[in-house]
Amino acid sequence: MTRKVLLVDDDAAVRDALGQTLELADLEAITAGSFVVAKDHITPEFPGVILSDIRMPGRDGFHLLEYVQKVDRELPVILLTGEGDIPMAVRAMGQGAFGFLEKPCAAADLLAELERALKTRDLVLENRRLKRQLERGDPAARMLFGTSPQAEELRARARSVAPTGAEVLVVGPPGSGISKVAEVVHLMSALARGPFVKRPAAGLTPEGFAALCEQGAGGSVFLDEVSAMPEAAQYAALEALEQGGAVRVIAGSTVDLARRVAEGAFNADLYYRLDVMRVRIPALAERREDIPVLFRHYVAQAAEQAGIPAPEITPDHLAALMAQDWPGNARSLMSAAMRFVLGMPEEVATEAGLGLAEQMAQVERSLLIAALGRQNGRAAAAARALKLPRKTFYDKLARYGIRPEDYRR
């Protein structure tokens, strides 16, 4: 998290007093007595915010604000105003200032406004970082979020196994994103231009496996929850792998396959063929520092899907999220983000003892209703807004007993 504050004030005593307040709050204060000194620190990647007096000799706070707007319009500037400067500060807000505070201001008010600005700056810089990764075409960085050492190790492992062409076993706890990691491995391999075919292994027949290989020819086939693959299909898969072919097999499992082999419930030879290269996904509880990054991403996604502005995420809310163990991992965090965007109290799902499927259904129903409300009950428009085929949309309405006419105004 960014913790820098560029403090600009021509009064040395004020700079010293405010600097001490910032340091006590674990904020790094960079002080400047004039616009000329301050501008050397202002860059598009400045990891913090600017706190500046309005009235200064020579180039004042308005000059500084104008300069910041040219360098980076998303760099927050908070202005300090004297008793008679309120109209000026309001005008500055219209010109792009993040906020203003009247001097003298209480330390609590100052720090609260700075925390709000720092949080906004964090999100801006994180979004820019992700956009750069997207432009570089790095699927691992684009699809596997997180800044923790565990997240970095996961991306590095995906990058290292992808070009080998060998079979890959992706393991992790439920809801951790096994299929996404499998897709990243495919996209970073020499087969990236070929198809990526995924299928639950449960109920798969030998003929079904052969059909999958045909579909995935020149690409990759992902077998989800491979431990549930029927015995006959296991032998068919083993035979196909031993003969070689024009498809790469990536398997995923949330259970210990070695234990399943020891129990006689999974073919040992197939296990060793699949476990040539292994990628392990850590649970969220092992990398709590990634929770804010993931949650912000999911909130942005949910808000875009719902067609509403993303609500403000407070530091206290993020701290509460980080304190949880998240046994459902990324999937349950995504569900929490949807509820957050829709304004649904977190306790609604937990107190009622709902499972993940029920929670997801609850969120989906809310999204459908919200879309109909925004479109004045026009089902076709709501379906387009949610990017759903019309038949799928109507099927979902029927499933939840939702009538479009109830939302016409």
pLDDT tens digits for range 335-374: 999 889 888 766 444 434 556 566 667 667 777 877 787 7
Whether the Cβ atoms of residue 281 and residue 311 lie closer than 8 Å to each other: no
Give residue 349's pLDDT.
42
Q: Is-contact 3 122, C-beta < 8 A?
A: no
Q: Within 10 A of 403 (CB to CB), how many other CB atoms are there? A: 12
State which H helix or E strand residue 18 sits in.
helix 12-24
Which candidate, 144, 140, 142, places its Cα nearest to that of 132? 142
The pLDDT-based confidence of 379 (bands split at 50, 70, 90) is confident
The pLDDT, as a whole number, for residue 223 is 97
Structure tokens at 404: 């479009």
CATH 3.40.50.2300 fits 4-131, yes or no: yes
Mean pLDDT of 84-90: 69
DSSP state of 163: G
Alpha helices in 263-312 (DSSP H): 268-274, 291-306
Q: Could you give the residue ranges of the DSSP H alpha helices within 137-177?
A: 139-143, 149-161
Q: Which helix (H) or strand (E) holds 334?
A: helix 329-341
Identify the three-state secondary structure at position 388. Answer: coil
b/e map of 330-347 (b: 16 or more CB within 10 Å)?
bbbbbbbbbbbbbebeee
Average pLDDT in the 108-115 region?
A: 90
In which residue ranges of the chain is CATH 3.40.50.300 found?
Answer: 139-282
Peptide linkage before 104 cis (omega within 30 of 0): yes
The answer to whether 15 and 9 are in contact (CB under 8 A) is yes
Retrieve residue 369's tokens: 């209703």
HSE on the CB side for 381, CA within 13 Å?
13
Mean pLDDT of 252-278: 95
Of 173, 185, 70, nearest to 139 (Cα)?
A: 185
Residue 247 above 70 pLDDT?
A: yes
- Average pLDDT in the chain: 86
How many angstroms separate the CA atoms of 189 and 196, rounded? 11
Residue 405 has pLDDT above 90, yes or no: no
Q: Is residue 219 predicted with pLDDT exceeding 70? A: yes
Write the pLDDT tens digit of every residue in 289-307.
899 889 998 998 888 877 7
Instruction: Say what angle helices 390-400 and 356-374 make with each other, to 10 degrees.
Output: 110
pLDDT of residue 122: 84
Please say if the pLDDT value at position 399 is more than 50: yes
Residue intervals in the chain for CATH 3.40.50.2300: 4-131
Distance CA 254, CA 6 (A): 48
Query: What is the DSSP annotation of 192-260?
Result: TTS-EEEEESTT--HHHHHHHHHHTTTSEEEEETGGG--HHHHHHHHHHHHH--S-EEEEEESS-HHHH
pLDDT exceeds cutoff 70 at 131: no
- Whether pLDDT at 130 is above 80: no
Cβ atoms of 107 and 77 closer than 8 Å: no
Handedness of CA 91, 95, 100, 103 (dihedral sign): negative
Give the DSSP letter string of 372-386. HHHTTT-HHHHHHHT
Q: Tokens at residue 86, please?
A: 């309120």
d(CA 203, CA 200): 8
In this structure, the strands spanning 277-280 and 168-171 are parallel
User: At residue 119, what are phi and psi to the nearest 5 degrees?
Assistant: -65, -40
Look up the CATH number of domain 139-282: 3.40.50.300
Q: What does the block give as tokens for 183?
A: 């897709």
